[in-house]
Chains A and B, each alone.
Chain A
Amino acid sequence: MNAAASFGAEPTVAWRAEVDASCAYPVVAFFVSAVFWLLFGTVLALVASIKMHTPGFLSGAEWLTFGRVRPVHLNTMIYGWGSMAGIGTLLWLQARLSRVRLPLQLPLVVGCALWNVGVAGGSIAILTGHGTSVEWLEFPYGWSFLFAGIFVVVMAASLMMFSARRVGHVYVSQWYLFGSVLWFPFLYVMANALIHGALARGVVQAATNWWFAHNVLGLWFTPIGLATVYYLLPKVLGRPIHSYYLSLLGFWTLALFYNWAGTHHLVGGPLPAWLITVGIVGSVMMFIPVTTVAVNHHMTMKGHFALLKVSPTLRFIVLGAMSYTVVSFQGSLQSLRTVNEVTHFTHYTIAHAHLGVYGFFTMVMFGAIYYIAPRLTGREWSSPRLIKVHFWGTALGMAVYWLGLTWGGILQGLAMDNPDVAFLDVVRHTLPYLWSRTFAGILLATGHVAFAVLAWRMFTLKGRRLPEPASAPSAVLAGGAG
């Protein structure tokens, strides 16, 4: 295998086509798997949501009980959908930006297959009563070795491309991608060893748990998401990123602060006050990278918002980038003790988590797949109408989800902090908002089905052939210009 061979002086179109061709099998394998897990996770999400307001729903079988379905939803979305869409995007971006062919293609395809085995096996384990009840790490210990092993291949491929890069300048997206492939395996292996391997004990496991879980978003999904926005925004707009120095500041402040934020999940808990305070400080300091990135993206977009109409890629990544700003500011405020006193332990947190993993990361991944897939298959997206259903279903669904549970969560928190309100009345107050979540879930599911149909047609090569090469006119159906 020609390991990460770089290119000489061929014209841009030629090397791009060659890079894309080298990515085709592994990246498509990751994308197809991701879309499968997205659908699977969506079904579980609906089941769990309905159970919340109609507890008798599917209550006869133990494997379908809420406490099993919910963690399977989370884990299939995180390790199935999110991580697999993320790895596919990461590999393609790193190949494009380093201008080298994707190395380790066969190991990556095998790794993708085994990753699916891992997600399926872990999910079955939870459903059959072998879940661990450690949030974000519910798969039994044994499965973590499989994921860690596959990750070595992903990391190797990414680093091989990075070191063989043909371009002297390292673009901002590459910093983030570089960070994510080193950060995630470290977090994952350490958290598993300390908690499931019982190297730590008692509440230190809880601290480790939230150091890990928050960093899955902060040091894994967020850098991949931001790398994608930093790459696709200028690509689709055809203009450079507003400021290099803002990019630099944004990256290093994120690297410095985000990974301290996790312990804000334990405010009021049985841990030393300094440990919680450190988490709050880290969360509040996130104002710096978030503002920086928001300004940088906005200034790049400025004057070009009309393009949102024609490019589905742009629509999804801009919505994602905006959600990133909102969810991060929200997170910083939420970590403050006075706010946390109300919102902790309520559905408000669930709304917040979905705005991050869904409103930001998932939206950006949708945008990425719209852009990347046609370049791998040489086909157009088959239906602008289905793209519309996908966009509006997910955008409206997320809005209803967030508004309903945020408001419901605040009411729930205020009522719970008032000892004159009986607990069962607190429950009663939340019911309308739990119904609104199921409604939002139906909107989201509709969008996902539309997307799955599109993806199915794309990857079974049912769409029209793109005019050669992928950078030519039909910008809309190829997900945007460039």
Chain B
Amino acid sequence: MNRAVFLYVGVLLTVLLSFTGLVSIPEKQLGGLQPLVDADGTQYPVPPTGLVAEGRGVYIADGCIYCHSQQVRPEGFGDDIERGWGTRRTVARDHIYDAPPLLGTMRTGPDLANIAVRQPNENWHFLHLYNPRITSPGSNMPPFPFLFRKVPVEVQVPHDALSFPPGWEVPGYAVVPTRRAKALVAYLTSLDHTHPVPEVPQ
């Protein structure tokens, strides 16, 4: 093969083809997806705002995606639905406001697409982030003590201090979530993708 021009054209053509197939056409097909609006005017999905958006930032900064997916596989493919990780498979519309979508590729920990439904209790999330072994014995999730402040209790116990199960208290201190911990939990407790969608027949 001595004709450089074949190489040029061939090399560029192959990569342009895959770009068209794997990026451009999907963008054409899915780029215009709109949210659903129910009869009572509620919209699904809604863009993350305020504390939830801030919490999404913490989720990204601390790399939760490297152990947690946010996608429910279809019924009959894996057992995501049987495990209670969702009521229906995840569809493209679920993620129209996510840039980037945090689908994930690893499940060292469980899927979080519907964690708000499975575990709505904020104190549970705070305890779990402070030390995952408190709520989930045997878990290999790292603790996130830096998302909390330890306050001496001599003065008065702050109203937002964590309430520990017996045996896990930190003697002499109250443990208080920082704003970033609160944001992260606000984000986690917003993850609910059970809203019915036309893509998945009931």
Name A's B-contacting residues (CB within 8 A).
Answer: 51-53, 55-56, 59-62, 65-68, 70-71, 129-135, 162-163, 168-170, 175, 178-179, 182-183, 186-187, 190, 194-195, 198, 200-209, 211, 215, 219, 248, 252, 255-256, 259-260, 262-263, 265-266, 268-272, 275, 278-279, 282, 337, 341, 344-347, 349-350, 416-419, 423-424, 427-428, 430-431, 434
Interface flag for B158 (CB, 8 Å): no
B31 & A200 in contact (Cβ 8 Å cutoff): yes
User: Which of A132, A207, A211, A256 is in CB contact (< 8 Å) with B14?
Assistant: A256
A53 & B103 in contact (Cβ 8 Å cutoff): no
Query: Which residue of the partner chain B has the closest CB to A346?
Result: B107
Which residues of the other chain, B, contact A427 by a CB distance below 8 angstroms?
Answer: 108-109, 138-140
A345 & B69 in contact (Cβ 8 Å cutoff): yes
B142 & A202 in contact (Cβ 8 Å cutoff): no
User: Which of B4, B30, B83, B143 is in CB contact (< 8 Å) with A55?
Assistant: B143
A270 & B21 in contact (Cβ 8 Å cutoff): no
Between A and B, 10 residue pairs with Cβ closer than 8 Å are A51-B142, A52-B140, A135-B65, A182-B8, A183-B11, A186-B19, A206-B101, A259-B18, A262-B22, A268-B78
B142 & A416 in contact (Cβ 8 Å cutoff): no
B91 & A345 in contact (Cβ 8 Å cutoff): no
Which residues of the other chain, B, contact A270 by a CB distance below 8 angstroms?
Answer: 71, 89-92, 94-95, 103
User: Which of A66, A175, A178, A269 is in CB contact (< 8 Å) with B63?
Assistant: A66
Whole-angstrom distance between the Cβ of A159 and the nearest chain B Cβ:
10
User: Which of B15, B110, B144 is in CB contact (< 8 Å) with A187?
Assistant: B15
**CA distance in complex: A130, B105 (Å):** 20
Interface flag for B161 (CB, 8 Å): no
Interface flag for B61 (CB, 8 Å): yes
B142 & A59 in contact (Cβ 8 Å cutoff): yes
Over the window 14-34 of chain B, the binary record of Cβ atoms lying under 8 Å from chain A Cβ atoms (1 yes, 0 no) is 110111011100110111010
Which residues of the other chain, A, contact B61 by a CB distance below 8 angstroms?
Answer: 68, 129-131, 133
8 nearest A-B residue pairs (beta carbon)? A67-B63, A259-B18, A345-B107, A268-B73, A129-B61, A419-B82, A133-B60, A62-B146
Which residues of the other chain, B, contact A162 by a CB distance below 8 angstroms?
Answer: 4
User: Which of B1, B11, B26 is in CB contact (< 8 Å) with A179?
Assistant: B11
Q: Beyond A423-B83, A427-B139, list 5 extra A-B contacts (CB 8 Å).
A: A209-B100, A270-B95, A344-B78, A349-B105, A417-B78
**CA distance in complex: A215, B14 (Å):** 12
**CA distance in complex: A268, B86 (Å):** 14
Interface flag for B53 (CB, 8 Å): no
Which residues of the other chain, B, contact A178 by a CB distance below 8 angstroms?
Answer: 7, 11
A207 & B78 in contact (Cβ 8 Å cutoff): no
B23 & A198 in contact (Cβ 8 Å cutoff): no
Q: Known contacts A266-B103, A418-B79: does B21 contact A55 (CB below 8 Å)?
A: no
Q: Known contacts A207-B26, A270-B89: does B62 contact A55 (CB below 8 Å)?
A: no
Query: Which residue of the partner chain B has the closest CB to A198?
Result: B99
Whole-angstrom distance between the Cβ of A273 and the nearest chain B Cβ:
10
**CA distance in complex: A209, B103 (Å):** 11
Q: Known contacts A65-B142, A66-B142: does B101 contact A202 (CB below 8 Å)?
A: yes
**CA distance in complex: A200, B27 (Å):** 7
User: Which of A67, A71, A268, A418 is in CB contact (< 8 Å) with B71?
Assistant: A268
Interface flag for B151 (CB, 8 Å): no
**CA distance in complex: A59, B142 (Å):** 7
**CA distance in complex: A156, B143 (Å):** 48
B140 & A431 in contact (Cβ 8 Å cutoff): yes
A59 & B31 in contact (Cβ 8 Å cutoff): no
Which residues of the other chain, B, contact A66 by a CB distance below 8 angstroms?
Answer: 63, 66-67, 142
Whole-angstrom distance between the Cβ of A348 and the nearest chain B Cβ:
11
B23 & A204 in contact (Cβ 8 Å cutoff): yes
A255 & B78 in contact (Cβ 8 Å cutoff): no
Whole-angstrom distance between the Cβ of B146 and the nearest chain A Cβ:
4
A186 & B15 in contact (Cβ 8 Å cutoff): yes
